[in-house]
Chain A
Amino acid sequence: MNLHEYQGKEILSSFGVRIQRGIVAQNVQEAVAAAKQLTEETGTGWHVIKAQIHAGGRGKGGGVKLAKNLQEVEDIAGQIIGMNLITPQTSATGKKVHQVLVAEDVYYPGDSETSEFYVSVLLNRATGRNMIMYSTEGGMDIETVAEETPHLIFTEEIDPAVGIMPFQARRVAFNLGLSGTAFKEMTKFVTSLYTAYVKSDASLFEINPVLKTSDDKIMAVDAKVTIDDNALYRHKDYLELRDIREESAIEVEAGEKGLNYVDLDGNVGCMVNGAGLAMATMDLIKQAGGEPANFLDVGGTADAARVEAAFKIILKDPAVKAILINIFGGIVRCDRVAQGVIDAYKNMGNINVPIIVRLQGTNADIAKELIDNSGLDVLSATEFQEAADKVQQVLA
């Protein structure tokens, strides 16, 4: 589950990680009130208005701006709330901004220069352990740093039996070139950050930038936080942090029906059992001259109700010109699936796009007969290649 910056920061703060303070606002009035409150609490003169959407690169799209007085807070909040924010990480149409974070200005002048770092915590899949990945090149896109200056990216792998050790926190601070107060602050920062990661069952923390202020404090200025969906059962309080406005409406609906669906841009819809076979089917559609319109795993019980739900989801996409159903019947028998397809088709009345049904495995021959004798406008296939050929044929 992805979180907004302000939600991620709240979680960090609850585990003692220093953050740039801020208050979330849903409209201009709330933004102005938030700015006043923040000035009272922190003494900040300027404010940063930050669009809250689930995508990075917000600054590049004009979603992060500095306000030097309350009039500017009002003006900027007014511009950002409701805008369609396009960033390098959103689609070409962008994402609608529903709320902004009004944050304190932390780049104030002082005794030393400010500097920005990059710190993330994530799983190292190769070793099955968590690691802290960090860099002196904060505020930049880490993929670019990895490509251009890979020697400036460091990693610290954590032994799960003992957790993060003080020497590891020191190594991070040394590698970031810190000394004195800032050095101590950084060791505290990474230690509490790692603790927060483990205790919140996160699957990604990406803090970019981590700021050293002009008075040597270390704090998270941004926070990308993802929580492991499989662990949400032990964090019931996080469930309410889900913002379904940030998700595709059609994917939310599919999820409620127990279908694993990902919306894509193509013209051939597909319905498959199993994630690997679903991806392979998408690839086959492309090789047959189409483009997959979706990923859809119907799971193990492809009965009439599920097939009908899947049909309805796929057909919501007006770009769909054909649907390929590819089911490998193992425990679930193909004749049952075929009957499910026929029943769903009849329940729905007219389906205006050609349908190719490929059923393989248990009772595949009976299933093909059922489809062929159904009188419906459905093409049947048993071999994978045959299904691809029929997709090509209907697209021609």
Chain B
Amino acid sequence: MSVLVNKDSKIIVQGFTGSEGTFHAGQMIEYGTNIVGGVTPGKGGQTHLDKPVFNTVQDAVNEVGADTTIIFVPPAFAADAIMEAADAGIKVIITITEGIPVADMITASNYIKHKDCRLIGPNCPGVITPGEAKVGIMPGFVFKKGNVGIVSKSGTLTYEAADQVVKQGLGITTAIGIGGDPIIGTTTKEAVELLINDPETEAVVMIGEIGGQLEADAANWYKESGSNKPVIGFIAGETAPAGRTMGHAGAIVGGSDDTAQAKKKIMSACGIHVVDSPAEIGSKVAEVLALQKV
């Protein structure tokens, strides 16, 4: 088992023929991901990377049964692309695009609330189920198959965590990059919940950063769930000054409760194994899993 994407997912690429879409679609196909086509309005009927191009997401759903999409559409049009996918009945909408106006995301997240779909991102590296489907921009070779789930707001820090886990002789069930924007479709809590409920996942790595309440919400949910599946946590940005945006639009300390220190305190109190050093994520996972098995 895995979550969100697997070898049977029928995946389309929105913004398929653009430079980003073309490059990453190529990488995903090479990985073995089941890409069934792409959407670029006005280019329907053409073939790109040996896959059919459709004018609309609805056409892709009707003709090739698409159920998952990855969006590379430029920021000014990305919220529209999300709503088009939701309207066409796509179940998993993974949005890579960075720099979408907040007002557009308020509209999009409100619109999809009543649709049967899950949005991942925006401004995220995507989702990977090693050996089955890479629906994102991550380097596939870093992620070996295994039993550790990863949830993270950040791209390269996810790769770092996966690399450390793999070097401990372990592997990944699914890694979910939830994104670093102020409004994201799937929260830390929802992503952690998906992995906790996945029978194949034996431990979850939860990587957060300064700003917002997502990690605290996830920690509180975890405590209440009573789950005995271990969660290992790290929060980046202990040394970030208040009031400054650190790269990700959402990574900004606004008050005393969204600092790295405050988040780690809540996570520890909720039974999460918190590491202070980003270099100790992998070894902590191995240590906790070894204890589980005793």
B250 interface hit (Cβ, 8 Å): yes
Closest residue of chain A to B103 (Cβ to Cβ) is: A201
Compute how far the CA of A228 lies from the CA of B76 in the bound complex, rounded to whole angstroms.
Answer: 13
Residues A384 and B278 in contact, CB atoms below 8 Å apart: yes
Total inter-chain residue pairs, C-beta < 8 Å: 166
Q: What chain B residues lie within 8 Å of A330 (beta carbons)?
A: 137-139, 142, 155-156, 159
- B144 → chain A closest CB, angstroms: 14
Interface stretch (choices B51-59, B60-68, B232-240): B232-240
Give min CB distance, A337 to chain B, whole Å.
12
Looking at the complex, which of B39-47, B104-112, B192-200 is the stretch in contact with chain A?
B104-112
- Of A76-84, A283-291, A348-356, the one with at least 4 CB within 8 A of chain B: A283-291
Cβ-based interface call for A297 (8 A): yes
A276/B156 contact (C-beta < 8 A), A201-B101, A230-B99, A284-B278 known: yes
* Dominant SS among interface residues on chain A: mixed
> Which stretch (B9-17, B86-94, B207-215) binds chain A?
B207-215
With A273-B156, A292-B239, A295-B246 given, is the CB distance from A279 to B139 under 8 Å? no
A277 and B157 within 8 A (CB):
yes
Within the assembled complex, what's the spacing in Å between the Cα atoms of A146 and B256?
A: 11
> Could you say which of A146, A277, A282, A285 contacts B160, with CB atoms under 8 Å apart?
A277
Shortest distance between the CB of A297 and any CB in chain B (Å): 5
B97 to chain A, nearest CB (A): 10
Nearest residue in B to A272 (C-beta to C-beta)?
Answer: B156
| Known contacts A129-B110, A160-B107, A280 near B157 by CB under 8 Å | yes
Is there a chain A Cβ closer than 8 Å to B154's Cβ?
A: yes
A37 on the B face (CB < 8 A):
no
Report how many residues on chain B are interfacial, defined by Cβ distance under 8 Å. 61
CB of B247 within 8 A of CB of A260, answer yes
Cβ of A262 within 8 Å of any chain B Cβ, yes or no, is yes
Contacts known (A279-B246, A285-B239, A328-B156); A230 close to B106, Cβ less than 8 A: no
What is the minimal beta-carbon distance from B91 to any residue of chain A, in angstroms?
A: 20
Asked if A274 and B103 make an inter-chain contact with CB atoms under 8 angstroms apart, the answer reads no
Q: Smallest CB–CB gap between B152 and chain A, Å?
A: 7
Query: Known contacts A278-B247, A285-B239: does B103 contact A126 (CB below 8 Å)?
Result: no
CA of A203 to CA of B245 in the docked complex: distance in angstroms?
A: 13
Asked if A243 is at the interface (CB within 8 A of a chain B CB), the reply is: no
Is the C-beta of A16 less than 8 angstroms from some C-beta in chain B? no
Distance in Å: Cβ of B132 to nearest Cβ of chain A: 19
Q: Is the CB of B236 within 8 A of A276?
A: yes
In the complex, which residue of chain A has the Cβ closest to the Cβ of B106?
A160
Residues in A with CB closer than 8 Å to B207 are 276
Contact of A360 among B102, B141, B160 (CB under 8 A): B160
Are A125 and B154 touching (Cβ within 8 A)?
no
List chain A residues, Cβ under 8 A from B18. none
Q: How far is the CA of A123 from the CA of B76 in the complex (A)?
A: 20
Residues of chain B contacted by A161 (CB below 8 angstroms): 110
Do A282 and B239 form a contact, CB below 8 Å, given A123-B182, A275-B247?
yes
A230-B100, A286-B239, A361-B159 as given contacts; A130 in contact with B106, CB under 8 Å = yes
Q: Which residues of A contact B105 (CB under 8 A)?
A: 128
The answer to whether A362 has its CB under 8 Å from any CB of chain B is: yes
Q: Is A198 an interface residue (CB 8 A)?
A: yes
0/1 string, A353-393, CB within 8 A of B gives 1: 00000001110000000000000000000011100100000
Would A198 and B154 count as touching, CB distance under 8 A?
Answer: no
Question: Judging by beta carbons under 8 Å apart, are A284 and B277 in contact?
Answer: yes
Q: Which positions 242-281 of chain A face chain B at CB distance < 8 Å?
A: 260, 262, 264, 266, 272-281
Cβ–Cβ contact A274 & B246, under 8 A: no
Structural contact, A388 and B107, CB atoms closer than 8 A: no
Residues of A within 8 A of B163 (CB): 328, 360-361
Q: Are B247 and A230 in contact (CB under 8 A)?
A: no
A395 partner residues in chain B, CB cutoff 8 A: none
A331 at the interface (CB under 8 A from B): yes
A231-B103, A277-B160, A361-B142 known; A125 and B250 CB under 8 Å? yes
Docked-complex contact A384 and B180, CB < 8 angstroms: no
Q: Is B251 an interface residue (CB 8 A)?
A: yes
Q: Is A40 an interface residue (CB 8 A)?
A: no
Query: Which residues in A have their C-beta under 8 angstroms from that of B100?
Result: 230
Q: How far is the CB of B255 from chain A (nearest CB, A)?
A: 7
Report Cα–Cα, A204/B281, bound state, in Å: 36
Q: Beyond A160-B106, A328-B159, list 5 extra A-B contacts (CB 8 Å).
A: A228-B102, A276-B248, A283-B238, A284-B277, A384-B160
Pairs across A and B, CB under 8 Å, 28 listed: A125-B183, A125-B213, A126-B213, A128-B109, A128-B110, A198-B103, A228-B103, A230-B99, A231-B103, A262-B246, A275-B154, A276-B152, A276-B157, A276-B248, A277-B236, A279-B239, A279-B240, A279-B251, A283-B276, A284-B278, A295-B247, A328-B160, A330-B155, A330-B156, A360-B163, A361-B142, A361-B163, A385-B277
